[in-house]
Structure 1
Amino acid sequence: MIFQQSRKTSRKKKTAGVRFWRLPQASFRLFGFNTTVSTISPRMNIRCFYSSITPSGRIRHTITDKSESKPNATGKSIMTFQKKYYIYSTFLFLTLILPQISHAEIRIVTTTEDIASITTEIGRDKVEVSAITRGYQDTHYIEAKPSYMVKANRADLLIYQGLELEVGWLPLLIRGARNPQIMPGGKGLLNLSSAIVPLEVPVGEVDRSRGDIHPLGNPHYHLDPENGLMMASAIAEKLKELDPENAAGYTDNWNRFRQKLESKIIEWQSRLDAIPDKRVVTYHTTWSYFLHRFGIQSVGTLEDKPGVPPSPRHLADLANKMNREKIKIILAANYHETRFSELLASKTGARILSMPVSTGGVDEVTDYIGLFDYLVERMAAAFQSGEKS
């Protein structure tokens, strides 16, 4: 049963010298009939034009008027259609609209699918969450599309990663959304980087000669699951601030998520601790937090400088080092181009391990915890395969 209120504006109508007000039309589907009701009210009398489409496709029209109601055989007035209509409308309001009001969800937009996954775990049925970027995209390079601005315009809360991960497009998106609640300083804007301690904060003057570096530190902190706990805690606190009536539920959800993630961290750590030699070459510094958490050593990066393609000299030096130290894994994000990795692999016999860095990066990874299940298992299998070769 679907009820839709049309947006037609009220206007006056004259009929036989009498001034009427045309009230809004209403259309709904009732017991298989597509129905439209239009009411016209001259002061005290109410006239209703009622049309319906029968299952056979015929159109039936009915006009009722309060002044034309006839008493029945018992002397009682027959209930006119407009009374039935108003009773039906009241019933719809009480059964459909009021429950939606009482169970209103907090509309949340996140910049990544990792943040969306964690937010859903904390908010559960109290939130409606949508992510702007997909897990297979490089979040640095996203276009601020009008459709993203529409999402942000309707949001009660915008959550982003920070440390300038989204600096190329998020400020433009926020301005275009024209939503005061998510403007800088608004209560509907949450920067999760304030909850963590960043790695690789540059020292000294930062300029383009040092490559594409982030002056506030490496922004890929979500790849340390311990930081995932901090992110979840910050999200829970923000939801409790915006929706204090459901604060206890958010706390319970946070505790459940924390217990599950802490248990998984112990499991992942044990899985990788069993491998004695954990050394890799990485394409970019994307993996720094993951490597740091699980005791994996990076002996070099394929890029000479962050965001800058490697020179032939750099590739030759790196290949010599890998051969000398017997490094057999080149670790890259699955959105990075493969030609430089393939060239280095051809000179060293190393295996290219191209993996997602975010939830949704591959079909098998559907949530934040599932991301680490996938990464740890693939990483452990690659190390063990290298030991046998």
Structure 2
Amino acid sequence: MTNLPGLTPRALKPLSAAILLLAVGSALAQPKLNVVASLPDLAALAREIGGQAIQVTSLATGLEDPHFVDPKPSFVRVLNRADLLLEGGAELEVGWLPPLVDSARNPKIRRQGPGNFVAAEGVRLLQVPTGPLDRAQGDVHPLGNPHFLLAPDNCSIVARRLAETLSRLDPTHAAIYQTNLAQFQARLDQKVAQWRQSLAPFRGTKVVTYHKSFDYFLDYFGLELVGTIEPKPGIEPTPAHINELIPKARQLGVKLVIIEPNRPRRTPERVAQAIGAQLVILPLMPGGQPAAKDFFGWFDYNVTQLVNVLKP
């Protein structure tokens, strides 16, 4: 290599560093990929992988029921400008998202479009029905339980696919996405070890939930779901069902009743009091509690809440 006149190898080092920083800064200065997520858990995961190279908007908030999000006219404008749409899939958003996508007139984000990402693809879903379905069974999801991001191993699967998709749509920042993915996975592995250790003393604890929302979380960390406040998915609790649930839960020694922030509390409080269990409110998605505003804060909050109510 020929040295520039008057510049020694030592002098070239800061110059090379400056050129590298300029190149990185130039890449980041390019228009950011516009990512729209149907739900806050997907948005939080996208922020971990995309970092400063993308702009992320969540249509729903962490306090909403992901099955029944109130569609707003502004959502159509947001979707019209999206480069990438992240949806949970497994028919979680089937009641509100498809009409918005149709109205947005953005072919990129339609199903099978280059900017459509379905998180459920590649994930092993729990509770996939095997027989015929009808409305008498409640709001049963024919593809399986769609609340799979409450299990860290599923988050890893989705994160890898998301990094690949971002790299395909935005190859200029592919190295950034892969670096962020590696950092995310390393941190997740470390946090999972901590979460498992924190919850280890409570493995086998029997739990009642309002809806079948936390099945993946409970299964992953070794807690046992024995019943739900809802008699069937999406069906409001009835006196007959609650009168059956209370003696069953009492006999099984249920220690915990879990509900989401948006659920009515009167019936869960009654059940918890009747069986001598603790009632705990856990966010189903980031943003469901102020302390659970991002991906890791969400899991940290849920684990900490469980430990606090279960410890002697």
Q: Normalising to structure 1: TM-score of the pair?
A: 0.71
Question: Residue type matched to 2:261 in 1?
Answer: N
Worse-superposed segment, 186-195 or 327-336: 327-336
Counterpart pick for 1:374 among 298, 301, 306: 301
Contact 2:28/2:52 (8 A) holds in 1: no
Q: Once the 2 structures are TM-superposed, how far is the Cα of residue 101 of structure 1 from its aligned partner?
A: 9.8
Bigger fraction of residues in strand:
1
Question: Would you say 1:294 and 2:217 are equivalent positions?
Answer: no
> Secondary structure, in 3 states, of the residue corresponding to 1:212?
coil
| 1:124 aligns to 2:51 (yes or no) | yes
Equivalences for residues 182-193 of structure 1 within 5 A? 182-193=109-120
For residues 143 and 369 of structure 1, the distance between their equivalents in structure 2, rounded to whole angstroms, comes to 27
Aligned position for 1:310: 237
Structure 1, unmatched stretches of 5+, are 1-98
1:110 aligned to 2:29? Answer: no
SS at match of 2:287: coil
Q: 1:186 to 1:343 in 2, by over 3 A?
A: same
Gaps of 5+ in 2: 1-25
Distance 2:255 2:173 in 1: 51
Alpha carbons 1:281, 1:298 under 8 Å: kept: yes
Structure 2 SS opposite 1:116: helix
The CA distance in 1 between the partners of 2:214 and 2:135, in whole Å, is 22
Number of the residue aligned with 2:191: 264
Question: For 1:142, which of 40, 56, 69 is the aligned residue?
Answer: 69
Task: Say which of 133, 146, 154 aligns to 2:81.
Answer: 154
| Structure-1 residue corresponding to 2:123 | 196
Once the two structures are TM-superposed, the CA of residue 276 in structure 1 deviates from its matched residue by 5.0
Q: Is the 8 A contact 1:144 1:172 kept in 2?
A: no
Structure 1 residues 1-389: aligned runs within 5 Å: 103-384=30-311, 388=312
Inter-partner Cα distance in structure 2 for 1:313 and 1:255: 51
Cα gap change, 1:291/1:101 in structure 2, threshold over 3 Å: closer, same or farther? closer
Separation in 2, partners of 1:341, 1:148: 33
Matches of 2:99 and 2:113, distance apart in 1: 16
Distance of 1:331 and 1:100 partners within structure 2: 45
CA distance in 1, matches of 2:43, 2:177: 15
Residue 69 of structure 1: aligned partner:
none
Letter in 1 for 2:86: I
Query: How far off is 1:144 after superposition?
Result: 2.2
Q: Give the 3-state SS of the residue equivalent to 1:252 in structure 2.
A: helix
- Larger relative helix fraction: 2
The alpha carbon displacement at 1:342 in A equals: 2.1
Secondary structure of 1:239's counterpart equals helix
Deviations 1:223-244 (A, max 9, x none): 1111111111111000111112
Distance 1:365 1:256 in 2: 20
Corresponding residue pairs, total: 287
CA change 1:102–1:303 in 2 (3 A) is: closer
Partner of 1:71: none
CA deviation string 1:314-361 (max 9, x = no partner): 211211122223323111111111122122234223221111111111
Superposed displacement of residue 102, structure 1 = 5.3
The structural deviation recorded for 1:277 is 4.6
Aligned counterparts of 1:285 and 1:229: Cα–Cα separation in 2: 22
One-letter amino acid of the counterpart of residue 281, structure 2: S
- The answer to whether the 8 A contact 1:223-1:290 is kept is yes
TM-score scaled by length of structure 2: 0.88
CA RMSD between the two structures: 1.6
Distance in 1, Cα, partners of 2:28 & 2:147: 38
Output the amino acid matched with 2:239: P
